[in-house]
Amino acid sequence: MLNAQFKFSPWLELVLTTTSFVVVSAIVFNLTGCISLQTPATADVAVSTAEVNSAATVGGAEYAPAEMRSARAKLVQANAAMAAHDYQAASDYAAQAQADAKLAQTKVSSTKAQQAAAALQEDIQVLREELNRVNSNK
Q: Which CATH class is domain 38-136?
A: mainly alpha
User: pTM value?
Assistant: 0.66
- Which segment of 83-87, 105-109, 133-137 scores lowest on mean pLDDT? 133-137
Query: How many whole angstroms from its chain centre is CA 117?
Result: 32
> Residue length, the chain?
138
CA pseudo-torsion sign 18, 21, 26, 29: negative
Q: What is the pLDDT of residues 26-73, one digit of tens each?
A: 565 555 555 555 678 899 999 999 999 999 999 999 999 999 999 999
pLDDT at 83 over 80: yes
Q: Which of 30-34, 89-93, 99-103 has the lowest mean pLDDT?
A: 30-34
Ranges 9-13, 32-36, 94-98, 114-118: which has the least confidence: 32-36
Domain boundaries, the chain: 38-136
